[in-house]
Structure 1
Amino acid sequence: MPDTHPASPSGAPKHVPELGEIQETLLIPLYARALETRKRHGMLSDPKAVEMVESLDYDFSRFDGARSLVGSNLRTLLFDHWVRAFLQEHPGGTVVELGTGLNTRFERLDTGHVHWFDLDLPDVTALRRRYFTDTDRRRTLALSVTDPAWTDAVRESPGPYFLAAEAVLIYLPEDQVRDVFRMIAARLPGARLALETASSHMIDGQDRHDVLSKVAARMVWRCDDPAAPAAWHPSVTLEDTRTFARLPAEVRRAVPQPTRALLSLLARVRRADIEAYRFNVYGFGDRTG
């Protein structure tokens, strides 16, 4: 009997995503953005995320009701804020999404001049190509973040460079993260890198996490002090660090008041949980390039 899959709203059969354990986690922020878009007054709008969720044969309902979906969207807004600020200063610069998943940041922030790379492993890029097409300013790279080959491609693009690694490096062991930092320092001097860090408190509690407990992947890199990576190379500095309780004003304005109130409450009564997950921007030396 032939395999059959549910139909999407367009009538086409849904596609079963064939992804590795870590790569499967990309479906979490995708679903979070889709749910937020369906709200009447959501904190973000991403019709492409809705389209992709509706086209995939995957049990997204396992994540329903998880408070971490709100956190995923807050993280997306914060990374959007950082990339937007970079593009306001350098509209023709280059943005690299490291471990891009099914991200749609280019659709939200394209200046008409920015050069953009979406980097991820081959199974993810194969899935991305169902929904996104390369252009003269936007390219997809089927490479690991640990592979120096991606920096060769990026160096051919106009600088300066902003690298966004959203929900990526925390799944790697520290020695690999350190190698990525050193590679960027050596090959892309002047770049900035945005990523999140998870403390031992969060790593140790992830089996009870409302979303991660539903998938096989686990965070590996423990970082109790976001300033620690600055010791890995002389050119690295920590330029900014945030928590959900300390978001930039632009991001806070996009967040509904009940969510802002909840974050303020959590910062008082569950401070360890709030401080355990941080969002950071690192600089790699002179940014005059």
Structure 2
Amino acid sequence: MNDDPSTPGGVRLGTVQETLLIPLYGRAVDQSREEPVLRDPRAAELVEAIDYDFARFDGLPSLLGAVVRTALFDHWTRAFLTDHPDGTVVEIGTGLNTRYERVDNGRATWFDLDLPDVIDLRRALFAAFPDSPRRTMLAASVTDPAWPRAVAADRGAPVLLSAEAVLPFLTVQEVRGTLALLADHFPGARLALDSAGPAIVSDQANHDALSKVAARMRWSCPDPAEVTAWLPGATLLGSHTLTTLPAELVAGLPEWCRQTIDGFAEQPPPQVTEYRLSLFQLP
């Protein structure tokens, strides 16, 4: 395994950053289906452009799990933009996410935040899509107290903070500090995040996808209500597992995907029951 995979532009990714390639490949595999969940041709193009052994992830259930997770984050983003067409979307730990390409409404302001090596990779691969007045890449750790100032100019607009597959890789102290930072700078914002329970975190060596890479989750969250306890005044707007998704989202999924989810729901393992996707409103 290459813990520091090379990319066409000579950029190299760190251990945790390598995990961004898993959901990217999941979206590319999904795109190859006759009835894809997301319809993300850009993901397929990116996989073709990156020199990496993606085959190690072939056939893993987590690929579909990552796609369904992204579908829910897309769903929440579309709902936010319906309520606030001129709002601001901050993709925290954006990786090689292509949510902008899938759901942008032509009016919102977007910020793509990630570590410098990931942003370098994005700039190399997204060269045809440079920064614009509505879309900006930010090179910083989510734990860095300085980055919110780059979004401050748009503070008059409602904000959606989307942290997909990011916070579980931080320590609990880093998660609490990050949440406090977000609440301080973006009061009233919506915050979408995922969390993993104790059984998942303690058994990562046997996780179908994480066992293929060196990165490990460090934040164990038994209940998303833990977040509201840390942030008095925050509201949990919704929390789902991959088998208890919002009905309106499930209705729009391809039949094969709904059947697969139903199969998982019959005897769900901890990898399903303890993995939660939650939407909050910050105080």
TM-score (norm. length: structure 2): 0.92
Q: Which moved more, 1:245-254 or 1:161-170?
A: 245-254
Matched to 2:255, the amino acid is Q
Where does structure 1 differ by over 4 angstroms across 4 or more consecutive aligned residues?
Answer: 13-17
2:4 alignment partner in structure 1? none
The alpha-carbon deviation at position 268 of structure 1 amounts to 2.9
- Segments of 5+ residues of structure 2 without an aligned counterpart are 1-6
Rounded to whole Å, the distance in 1 between the matches of 2:37 and 2:11 is 27
Larger radius of gyration: 1
- Segments of 5+ residues of structure 1 without an aligned counterpart are 1-12
**For residues 2-36 of structure 1, what are the alpha-carbon distances to aligned partners after superposition, in whole Å with 9 as ceiling and x for unaligned?**
xxxxxxxxxxx955651000000011111111111
* SS at structure 2 position matched to 1:117: strand
* SS at structure 1 position matched to 2:16: helix
Matched to 1:267, the amino acid is A
**For residues 225-263 of structure 1, what are the alpha-carbon distances to aligned partners after superposition, in whole Å with 9 as ceiling and x for unaligned?**
110111112232211101111112232133332332332
Q: Which moved more, 1:178-187 or 1:250-259?
A: 250-259
1:163 alignment partner in structure 2? 161
Aligned length: 273
What value does the CA root-mean-square deviation take over the aligned residues? Answer: 1.5
Q: 2:28 aligns with which of 21, 25, 34?
A: 34
Alpha-carbon distance change, 168 to 42 in structure 1, aligned in 2, over 3 angstroms? same
Q: Is 2:87–2:109's contact at 8 Å kept on the other side of the alignment?
A: yes
Q: Is 2:197–2:223's contact at 8 Å kept on the other side of the alignment?
A: yes
1:7 alignment partner in structure 2? none
* SS at structure 1 position matched to 2:147: helix
2:197 alignment partner in structure 1? 199
Q: Which moved more, 1:251-260 or 1:230-239?
A: 251-260
Rounded to whole Å, the distance in 1 between the matches of 2:248 and 2:123 is 32
- Alignment map for 1:28-107 (pairs within 5 Å): 28-107=22-101
**For residues 157-180 of structure 1, what are the alpha-carbon distances to aligned partners after superposition, in whole Å with 9 as ceiling and x for unaligned?**
142100000000000001100011
* SS at structure 2 position matched to 1:44: coil
1:133 alignment partner in structure 2? 130
Q: Which moved more, 1:25-34 or 1:260-269?
A: 260-269
Q: Which moved more, 1:77-86 or 1:41-50?
A: 41-50
Q: Which moved more, 1:134-143 or 1:36-45?
A: 36-45
Matched to 1:260, the amino acid is R
1:9 alignment partner in structure 2? none
Matched to 1:141, the amino acid is L
Rounded to whole Å, the distance in 2 between the matches of 1:16 and 1:70 is 30
The alpha-carbon deviation at position 45 of structure 1 amounts to 1.1
Q: Is 2:11–2:120's contact at 8 Å kept on the other side of the alignment?
A: no
Rounded to whole Å, the distance in 2 between the matches of 1:203 and 1:254 is 31
The alpha-carbon deviation at position 266 of structure 1 amounts to 2.4
TM-score (norm. length: structure 1): 0.91
**Percentage identity across paired residues of the two chains:** 50
The alpha-carbon deviation at position 275 of structure 1 amounts to 1.6
Rounded to whole Å, the distance in 2 between the matches of 1:117 and 1:14 is 24
